[in-house]
Homo-oligomer: A and B are copies of this chain.
Amino acid sequence: MNGAETLVHTLADSGIEICFGNPGTSEMHFVAALDREPRMRGVLCLFEAVAAGAADGYARMAAKPAATLLHLGPGFANAISFLHNARKAGQGIVNIVGDHARSHSRYAQAPLTSDIMAICGGVSDWLHQSRSPAEVAGDGARAVQAALRGRIATLVLPADCAWEAADAPAPPLPAILPGAVAPDRIEKIAAALKNGKRTLLLMRGRCLERAGMEAAGRIAHATGLRIAHDYFTPRITRGAGLPAIERIPYFSEQIVEALAGLEQIVLVGAPPPVTFFAYPDKPSWVTPEGCELLTLATPEEDSIQALTALAQALGAHAPGSLVPLVRPDIPANGALTSEAMGAIIARLMPQDVIWSDDSLTAGPGLQKFLVNAPAHDAIYLTGGAIGDAKPMAVGAALAAPGRKVIAVSGDGAAMYSLPSLWTMAREKLDVVTIICANRSYNILNIELGRVGAINPGPKTLSMLDLHNPELDFVKMAQGMGVEASRAETVEQFAAQFADAMQRKGPRLIEAVLQP
């Protein structure tokens, strides 16, 4: 076995089942080793950011890491933005980066020689460069162990460590599981929930899946507290049959309003809430003055166990009221707005959809109706690197075959990851991509005034505007082998979306939104 073969074998032994790759010359031995490992699937992505976003979406839905295969310095760099999103989401990924052979890295004049550890270091939680073929397998096992804890693990693999003879695969290392929350903390929080204060339970992480949501619903029913999640949450299972949950808004003044009057916030896997950006004369820290912050579970702890134990400690056994299913009427003859789209989607979407969403200004309109739609998992843009809805959808569809995936993206955002459409077509993924086409960086039109940049002139406005020429996502999608159509009216969107829900396979709808 060569080093690459011991590595691929070790990754598979450690439970890695898929590798999203955009290989180059220095990764050829890893690619060849995939041929001899039936337990690991290779998925070609035509741009590294697509591979990273797909690994993120896969991890969110499979609750285990994928591998990526990236080409030394600039190739890894192309993946950083969506690795950043994954890192903010706490999703583990094993990045294999094929570096120059050890003997070649000394040549600064070789085009691809770079400060690879610096480039990888800016976004990796775990970073190591293999020093010999014999060490590669063990390095791989350690990378998987880090990724299983939700870390971005990057193994820089010199080409000669891949092609030279090595010994054998390395045994998998034990997963380091989230720590259980001790009974005294459960008791302390249970006591605090009986003090009569106006309380919010702020949740993030695995507790937003069904078991945690149901425990939170029982606690809310027993104590009267509110439950909420932050705006850009990694994953939430929500909709009909689950407890109602608030979404903390995006803009700072809306957050302040939503949190006003609270006397205590109990954090469950969530950090204290802050705004997305700073604005002149507005606070970043939005916990109301005098409101106490209590921690039930840190992001490193088992938030589902903590909530379940808390419900138990409170004697909270009754589920309380659950979200009713509402199938809204399709708006008649109205303008195609995000609210109209939300109504149509909520009317027509099946059970168990995966909703992958990087939309910004279209978000609230869609959200309004989705909360009462059939139960589904929503995965959101967590790190502000826009354009990851489509790549995440690629990974989510591969993690959860049989489930319909809907990727929702703004038109500006969609331009960051166009090649993801090709992988959807090649892998015949059941992903419906919806482009919310408002023909602008609409969020920036809003933010311009909010940051105090007033009276924008023509140069400013042109930097936010996506007209001239208009983007035609139908043609772009067709150019990558994805069936596509444009909806300019409510009727067209309803017909196209209904059709997409009836069939399987990749599909794109460009929804031209009215302001």
Chain A interface residues (CB < 8 Å from chain B): 21, 23-26, 28-29, 31-32, 34-36, 42, 44, 46-47, 49, 73-75, 77-78, 80-82, 84-85, 88, 100-101, 103-104, 107-112, 114-115, 118-119, 121-123, 159-160, 163, 232, 271-272, 274-278, 280, 284-285, 381-385, 412, 415-416, 418-419, 422, 425-426, 443-444, 447-448, 451-453, 456-460, 462-466, 468-476, 478-481
Contacts of A481 in B (CB 8 A): 469-472
Q: How far is the CA of A23 from the CA of B329 in the complex (A)?
A: 39
- Provided the pairs A277-B159, A284-B103 are in contact, do residues A35 and B476 lie with their beta carbons within 8 angstroms? no
Shortest 6 CB-CB contacts between residues of A and residues of B: A469-B481, A35-B457, A74-B385, A475-B479, A77-B80, A74-B81
Nearest residue in B to A383 (C-beta to C-beta)? B111
Nearest residue in B to A299 (C-beta to C-beta)? B109
- Provided the pairs A122-B115, A274-B109 are in contact, do residues A468 and B426 lie with their beta carbons within 8 angstroms? yes
**A74-B80, A74-B85 provided; 20 other pairs, C-beta below 8 A?**
A29-B453, A35-B456, A42-B459, A44-B462, A46-B415, A74-B385, A77-B80, A80-B119, A104-B274, A110-B275, A112-B277, A119-B122, A122-B122, A159-B451, A160-B278, A163-B453, A426-B468, A469-B481, A472-B480, A475-B479
Query: A109, B272: Cβ atoms under 8 Å?
Result: yes
Query: B42, A383: Cβ atoms under 8 Å?
Result: no
- Stoichiometry, as copies per complex, reads 2
Name 25 A/B residue pairs within 8 A (Cβ), A-sorted: A23-B444, A25-B451, A28-B448, A28-B453, A35-B457, A46-B415, A46-B416, A73-B84, A74-B80, A74-B85, A74-B383, A78-B78, A80-B119, A100-B277, A109-B272, A111-B381, A114-B123, A114-B383, A115-B122, A118-B122, A119-B122, A122-B122, A469-B481, A476-B476, A476-B479
Most chain-B CB neighbours within 10 Å: which of A25, A42, A47, A476?
A25
Query: B462, A471: Cβ atoms under 8 Å?
Result: no
- Provided the pairs A42-B463, A462-B44 are in contact, do residues A444 and B24 lie with their beta carbons within 8 angstroms? yes
Nearest residue in B to A510 (C-beta to C-beta)? B479
Contact partner of A277 among B26, B382, B453, CB < 8 A?
B26
Query: A456, B74: Cβ atoms under 8 Å?
Result: no
Contacts of A24 in B (CB 8 A): 444
Nearest residue in B to A465 (C-beta to C-beta)? B44
Q: How far is the CA of A479 from the CA of B73 in the complex (A)?
A: 31
Contacts of A473 in B (CB 8 A): 479
Q: How far is the CA of A293 from the CA of B154 in the complex (A)?
A: 39
Query: A459, B110: Cβ atoms under 8 Å?
Result: no
Q: How far is the CA of A383 from the CA of B344 in the complex (A)?
A: 48
